[in-house]
Every structure is written in C-alpha cells, then in structure tokens.
Amino acid sequence: MGRLRTGASLAAALCLISGCTQTGADQGSKSTPSSRTLAGRPLVACTIKGESPVKAQAQALCGALPVREDRSGTGGRTVELRVAVVPAVAAGRDAVPLFLLAGGPGEAATQFFAWLPSVFKEVHARRDIVLVDQRGTGDSNRLTLPEMPDPTGLSTRAADARLSRWSRDALGSIDADPRFYTTAAAADDLDDVREALGYRQVDLYGTSYGGTVAQYYLRQHEGRVRAVVLDGSSPVDVPVLELLGHSSQAALDLLFRRCADDAACHRAFPHLATEWQSLLARLATPLTITDPASHETAVIDRVKLADAVHSALLTEASAARVPLALHLAARGQWVPAAQLIGTPPSGGPTLVMADEILCSEAWARFTPAGVNRLSAGSYALPRELAAAGRREAMCRRLPTGLVPADDAAAVHTTLPVLWLVADGDPQDPPANLVEVPAQQPNSRVVVVPTQQHVVGQLGCLPSLVAAFLDAGSAKDLDVSCARTARPLPFRLS
C-alpha cells in the first residue's frame, strides 16, 4: 500500500557512489559519540543498521521518547519513538542539525538512512544528523494489519460480509487507535524530539513521502525550521496518486524518446514504440505463460505489465533495462523480460500508519473517478483503477484518521526550500511542481535530467545540498552541476 518505493533507486546510485561492499565503520560516522540527552535522559552509544537501499551502518547515539498516542489528550496510551543522533564529525557542532524524513509511508528512518553519513560527508561534517522512526514504523510501535481478502467473484452481500469480518478482526488484533497514526501527529512528534534534544531550530531533508512529512512540519512548526530540502516529492495540494498513471506515462514516453535519440539503443530497438503498442494489444486478454525451467505458470495482463514497468521506471538501473525487456516481451520471451526488470511484490500485511494516511489525507486522495479524470489515456490506467478500487474498499472499513482543518491547503512559506526532482520520475515529476514558485517565493526547483525517483545522493548533488544548507538560501545557489547528470547506458542485450 506504500505510495512510493525509493529503495532500489538509491541502491543503484549508492553502489556507484560508495560501493556496495562497505560495512561497519567504513560506512558510518567516524566521530566519537559525546554525551547527549533526550528529555534529560542520556542517549546511549548504538549502531544503526540498514539493509535497504544498501547494506550500511553508522555509529550513533540512541534513545526513546514517549509521546501520547492521542496528542490532544492527557492520558491513555503512549508511543515510544526511537531516536538516533549521528553526531557531527567536527567538534563544536555549530550548525543547525539535519532531521531526515523517510519515505513510504512506512520506511523507518533509523534503518533507511544508515548510509547517509558516508554519502553526505559535507553535510555531516558540521551537522548532527537526527533520525526518528515515525510512529507506527520501525521501533516506534510498528503496527500491521493482515492482508485484506480479495472479494472478487463474490456477491455484493458476501463480499461486504467478508471484508467486514476482516476489518473487525484486523482492528481487534492491534493495541492502538489507528486514527492517531497520521502525518500531522508525526510532525508534532518530530517537534517533541527537537525540543527534547535541545535544538532551537532544525533543517529538514525529506525523500519521497518524507517530503510530505517535511511540509506538514513546516506548516505546523514553521518557526522551528531554518531550511528544507525536498527530494523526489510533490506539494501536498497535488493529488499525486490520482496523477500517478499520467506521470508514469510521461516518464515512459521520455524513456522512449531517449532510446530513439541514443544511436545504440535506436539501432537495437528501432521499432520500440510499435512493439509496445502490440504488447498492450496482446494483453487486452490475459495471457498464461510457463517458465520452461521451473514449469511454473503465471497469468500476465495489463495490470501486471504496468506494475512491472512502473516499478522499473523508478530506478536508474532498471529504467535502462526497460527497452530490452519490452522488446523481449513483444517477441514472447516473457521469462527473460521479467528477469530484466523484476516483478514487484504484492499482497501481505500492511502498516496501520500507511493505511490510515493513505485513507485520510488530502494529498493521498485516490478515487476511481479521480484516476479516470487525471490519468486517462495512460498505459497504467487499468492498474491505477484496480488499486483505487481496492483502496476504497479498505478505507470504507477503517476509522478515518485525524487530520488538520487545512489538510488540503498548499504550504505557503518564505523560508528557503530546495526542491530536487528528476525529469524521468514516474511519481513526482516536475509537472507536479509548477505552482511552487508562487507558493514559496524563496524556493528553488532543480530539475535533474535523465534520472528517475529521488536524486539527492547522485553525483554532485550531496555537495549542492550542503551548499544550500550552509548558505541557508537558494537565491545564489550554483545548480549548474545538476544539469550535467548522465543516465546509465541502456542495456542492449
């Protein structure tokens, strides 16, 4: 149910930047943790570890901060937030700390960002890096719901009965009130962490859905923010999910143009657009294929094809394999095509916080009518309509999360905001950011060419982010290096 999948994109980039074989101190901070406190309690030395997007670890100081589940009350349950501080390398730590906000919804910051100190070395030199697992994720009371059953083929009455039983049993299995696991509550949690650590102001860096969290924090606690970096994200007044089919089609069209303009790719696949259209026509009727090695069978249709293609467009490495994969599929070579771009996982338990956020918040609205209106004509339309229908069925049976009255409003600010976006992003493309200059007059939108989803870790961009944070302004920021990004070569055989 997650909105965004950033892991594979970062994995490909980080392998190029720092290698994928480093472990231990080589990937972590080289600073010696000093005495720090969280709400008066000493933080303890720890090692934060992540397996995705790359295997990494860093030395940090860790603790837990209890916050009320219902932030409007004075009693009831509490949630213990896992907090990690990776202290600045340089003594004195004179710079404003950087709070890193993970994507998803559902990624745990203390796990996902274990790689960052070794890649953003200039940022980490003078800045504490602060990681907080959002309530409902990681080690901050992670909560899951069992997979929603598929009511396909049942009568309306039987389907409703089955889904009602599922929701009753699922909600009864958790010791929590799902209504309080929303982005607004998480933003207030972050401010509690800031205060408990003794920071007067913070800088924010949000990737994908983490950029959404950053915007909520900015709206709720603007006085505590100095500067913001939003990487692979969209403004909260943009219906990013209902636009997803349209955005993915635009990214695929751009990839086709890049192949046509690349001599080697065009020579290898001179009829790529025609092959793609024939593939779509063939899958108007579901097709059963058999793996000649394992003899296992699978049914492929337009929805599953769109799943695979959209997921591939999220990453630089897999996007470079899309033309070859589509060429092979058009020739009936389904197994090697699937091996090239993979098949995204489906089914399984979902995170309570992700379901509540995606069912309750304005930016995540996702109705079949909205999808039809905003993503008409996309190759991914059947996929998005199916997903929107499943989402509606789930959301009718979950309690509505508590959101602020201005939840659907754009975030207006005069603070410095740096937006990083790739022209080939199939989820948060530059088209989603057209209103940003009017809403945020001191912002800067940097479009990175020939890349996919989340780009701050690529090439010169860590240094660009460091320069922006050091200056606390985007006004005279030299962004020319971002325009020199080069795609990975197309896989031709």
Residue 301 sits at φ, ψ, to 5 deg, of: -140, -175
Check the CA dihedral 157-163-169-174 and report its sign: negative
Instruction: For residue 306, give the 3-state DSSP assignment.
Output: helix
pLDDT category at 448 given cuts 50, 70, 90 is very high
Alpha-carbon separation of residue 78 from 74, 131, 141, 142, 223 (angstroms)? 10, 20, 10, 13, 26
Q: Is the peptide bond before 53 cis (omega within 30 degrees of 0)?
A: yes
pLDDT at 8: 47
82 near 110, Cβ under 8 Å?
Answer: yes
The pLDDT of 276-295, averaged and rounded, is 90
458 near 486, Cβ under 8 Å?
Answer: no
Cα angle, residue 477 at apex, residues 317 and 460 outer, rounded to 5°? 30
pTM (global) more than 0.85: yes
Summarised one tens digit per residue, pLDDT across range 11-27 is: 545 554 444 434 333 33
Check the CA dihedral 427-242-170-66 and report its sign: positive
Summarised one tens digit per residue, pLDDT across range 120-156 is: 999 999 999 999 999 999 999 999 999 999 888 888 8
- CA dist 351 and 359 (Å) reads 12
CA 471 to chain centre: 27
Residues 6+ apart with CB under 8 A from 467: 477, 478
CA 398 to chain centre: 23
- CA dist 458 and 18 (Å) reads 11
What is the residue whose two structure tokens read 């004509």? 377
* pLDDT at 319 exceeding the cut of 90: yes
Nearest to 152 by CA among 340, 393, 373: 393
| 3 state SS for 358-389 | HHHCHHHCCCHHHHHHHCCCCCCHHHHHHHHH
Instruction: For residue 79, give the 3-state DSSP assignment.
Output: strand
pLDDT category at 3 given cuts 50, 70, 90 is low
- CA dist 382 and 378 (Å) reads 9
State how beta strands 417-422 and 443-448 pair: parallel
248-273 burial, b at 16+ Cβ within 10 Å, e below that, comes to bbbbbebbbebbeebeebbebbeebe
390: buried, middle or exposed (CB in 10 Å: 19+, 13-18, 0-12)?
Answer: middle
Least confident segment among 20-29, 150-159, 387-396: 20-29
- CA dist 459 and 143 (Å) reads 37
pLDDT at 74: 76
Summarised one tens digit per residue, pLDDT across range 345-381 is: 777 899 999 999 999 999 999 999 999 999 999 999 9
Domains within the chain, CATH numbers bracketed: 7-143+177-238+406-484 (3.40.50.1820), 261-341 (no CATH)
- Per DSSP (E only), the strands in 28-149 are 37-38, 41-42, 44-50, 56-68, 78-86, 98-101, 129-132, 144-145
pLDDT category at 5 given cuts 50, 70, 90 is very low
Outline where 198-271 has alpha helix (H).
Answer: 209-220, 244-261, 263-268
Determine what percent of the chain falls in helix, strand and coil, rounding each to the nearest 5. 40, 15, 40
